[in-house]
Structure 1
């Protein structure tokens, strides 16, 4: 049975050209980039060429790119090291109620260290209010961490507006761009962003590879101790094949490519909407269907059918989608994102699925998905 992959917000398959680059570097550039002999210098050169390319992709300086193991490490580094190094200036942090757990869990740890965290609420579309943000901002606020785009419902945050407000404030501005990097054009200087997290596996690159952009105006000690790599900003032998592969994945994403994919993904959303309506499937969208949402993420509520049941039936039919909630160790935990949007008593938090598109998703796959979901719906609702 053919498997149709519609969970690209979780991860993406590596592209063939990325795999080719990674294998080549694994076989031929195996020196430690911190050593001074020829093989080490060759590895270091590969790494620095990639650093320049990645910096250019967000209008940063190459000295502002720190290679990490991915989004989680980048988020953890930005949160913990900013808070702990700036505690004398204040202990107040602002975030949103729908951040990734890589942000929320470190903040819970910091609360045990007497930091105060304000969680901005979201409306039923997953959007925050700028007025709420302005009201939350205080003189002792030292960090604002707000994601660029939400991974469950696709809502986009007003990053530019927040950056403008913070440009003359002491608070450093961090954004988790894991779900948007490579899909949207990003300019850290124009948006006054101090720190930004990315992950390669979201854009057909390798897993366990990412970078943290840290403005040269920010300064904190290395989160991972044990060596002087990354100019003493991140200890550990650099993953040169992964870094080169990340560069290759990014170079495939020109502004024209990004725009074309966004148009394609929006078309997939419309195709699903029209197809499900034509087949009399009762559903509602979680989030919005406009320019204020990420086109590759599509979250829908199907009343009367649990997330687990629908996800399992689609899996058996050969379609990989994600739940509106996360399945952990056999128990279904409510999605904190949908709970923040609709309340803990809403049916949506246990009856929603997330469909997410990627580079290799085809119109025929969407047609097949519509037929499969419609068939399952008719069978389960009889």
Structure 2
């Protein structure tokens, strides 16, 4: 059975979530209907709302269910921009970190092209941490022109945890709303929406043991937000659409399970991660760990660059050896592209192309780490033999390796 080390992409459903979803899928009822089946479905949704709110330190009325993190990010960034700009046309600037997930970055760029927004990309240091002095400088420059600030809680590629409380404190005197994509953080580290002071926070079900296709936007009760889609007026008239009762209930069950023993599980995974990091550095001495050190990164994240390796070649070679990992970079139409996160951290393109992300989760074991450390040296040597000449198509490289039956020794 393959060893799965790509929990940042999606993690297996928890037993608690699977049991609840199986139960709810056997039932019927639209939570907006008034008959018995509808009222039962509504109770399941509202119970889930309370459970999810408790897990994230929020009031139940602040939970807006969505189809996932991408929709929650779009709803927050577009909705806050439109609402703030409608109140004051001077508010056109969006302060956004240069290492955001594309669900945020592409939304900001769309607002630039179509809605007159001005993106201000906040730089990061070599660990991927937002430069606070730049945030303060941009606010001081003209606070009345800022529509919102959006900075992720923790980076999906290198795992760096951002200084969200500091950013919120900078914005507070000027009444500037701050949104955070907490998709990677929620369920992995302590997340408290109320204590954070955020106006809005996005989370996703399948990153913490829930099903794919459900997420939530935590939205402060006093925060004005223009809806992105319109219809039946569900979810405070912020996000219309029939609610997926089974997925919502399973999401809440997963969140409750993930946060119930979060401290113990965080330490277990962190110990596995640290062992993995030490092992990789011993097995491949020139591998370079990227992101913030120690507790400054997500407990399950270990992101490396391997000099002389094309990340996609290494990925496929590890896959052939039964280890499933990720490059953490975008790939469109078979053309490998260096990660915008690594480039923002100051890496050159060749170095950034050698990335490999290993991420651990609730199902990870010591044996998983052992398998990776056994497979990695041979896979890395083969990837270096394949070279990076011409940065040939990922698909072509993978197909060639597969045809040759290349596997690490």
Answer whether TM exceeds 0.5 for this pair: yes
Alpha-carbon distance in 1 for matches of 2:285, 2:373: 10
User: Which of these residues, 365, 370, 373, is aligned with residue 368 of structure 2?
Assistant: 365
User: Which of these residues, 310, 316, 337, is aligned with residue 333 of structure 1?
Assistant: 337
Alpha-carbon distance in 2 for matches of 1:351, 1:102: 24
Q: Comparing 298-307 with 257-266, which one deviates more in the overlay?
A: 257-266
Q: TM-score, with normalisation over the residues of structure 2?
A: 0.89
Contact preservation (8 Å) 1:71, 1:199:
yes
Contact preservation (8 Å) 2:16, 2:257:
no
Query: Post-superposition shift, 1:279?
Result: 3.2
Who is 1:201 aligned against? Answer: 206
Alpha-carbon distance in 1 for matches of 2:108, 2:334: 26
Post-superposition Cα deviations, 1:164-217, rounded to whole Å, max 9, x if no partner, equal 222222211100000001112222222211100000000010001011011011
Question: Is 1:321 the counterpart of 2:325 in the alignment?
Answer: yes
Relative to 1, partners in 2 of residues 1:277 and 1:197: Cα closer, same or farther, differing over 3 Å? closer
Question: Is 1:102 the counterpart of 2:107 in the alignment?
Answer: no
Relative to 1, partners in 2 of residues 1:254 and 1:35: Cα closer, same or farther, differing over 3 Å? same
Who is 1:25 aligned against? Answer: 24
Relative to 1, partners in 2 of residues 1:378 and 1:349: Cα closer, same or farther, differing over 3 Å? closer
Contact preservation (8 Å) 2:315, 2:327:
yes
Contact preservation (8 Å) 1:126, 1:287:
yes
Return 5+ residue gaps in structure 2 as ranges.
386-409
Return 5+ residue gaps in structure 1 as ranges.
none
Question: Is 1:351 the counterpart of 2:350 in the alignment?
Answer: no
Aligned to 2:179, what secondary structure does the other structure show? strand
Aligned to 2:173, what secondary structure does the other structure show? coil
Query: Post-superposition shift, 1:325?
Result: 1.8
Relative to 1, partners in 2 of residues 1:274 and 1:187: Cα closer, same or farther, differing over 3 Å? closer
Q: How many residues matched?
A: 378
Contact preservation (8 Å) 2:188, 2:299:
no
RMSD over equivalenced CA pairs, Å? 1.5
User: Which of these residues, 231, 236, 243, is aligned with residue 238 of structure 1?
Assistant: 243
Query: Post-superposition shift, 1:317?
Result: 0.8
Aligned to 1:67, what secondary structure does the other structure show? strand
Question: Within 5 Å, which residues of 2 pair with 1:6-85?
Answer: 6-28=5-27, 30-85=28-83
Contact preservation (8 Å) 2:178, 2:198:
yes
Question: Within 5 Å, which residues of 2 pair with 1:152-231?
Answer: 152-231=157-236
Q: Comparing 361-370 with 264-273, which one deviates more in the overlay?
A: 264-273
Post-superposition Cα deviations, 1:301-347, rounded to whole Å, max 9, x if no partner, equal 1111110111110011111100042223211121100111124x343
Question: Within 5 Å, which residues of 2 pair with 1:103-122?
Answer: 103-112=104-113, 113-122=115-124
Alpha-carbon distance in 2 for matches of 1:381, 1:143: 44
Contact preservation (8 Å) 2:5, 2:359:
yes
Alpha-carbon distance in 1 for matches of 2:243, 2:53: 17
Query: Post-superposition shift, 1:380?
Result: 4.8
Relative to 1, partners in 2 of residues 1:114 and 1:275: Cα closer, same or farther, differing over 3 Å? same
Contact preservation (8 Å) 1:50, 1:243:
yes
Who is 1:92 aligned against? Answer: 93
Query: Post-superposition shift, 1:34?
Result: 0.5
Contact preservation (8 Å) 1:299, 1:353:
yes
Query: Post-superposition shift, 1:379?
Result: 4.6
Aligned to 1:272, what secondary structure does the other structure show? helix
Post-superposition Cα deviations, 1:272-296, rounded to whole Å, max 9, x if no partner, equal 2332344354211011221111121
Aligned to 1:86, what secondary structure does the other structure show? helix
Post-superposition Cα deviations, 1:319-378, rounded to whole Å, max 9, x if no partner, equal 1100042223211121100111124x3432101100000100100110111010022234
Who is 2:287 aligned against? Answer: 283
Relative to 1, partners in 2 of residues 1:350 and 1:147: Cα closer, same or farther, differing over 3 Å? same
Aligned to 2:229, what secondary structure does the other structure show? coil
Relative to 1, partners in 2 of residues 1:278 and 1:61: Cα closer, same or farther, differing over 3 Å? closer
Q: TM-score, with normalisation over the residues of structure 1?
A: 0.95
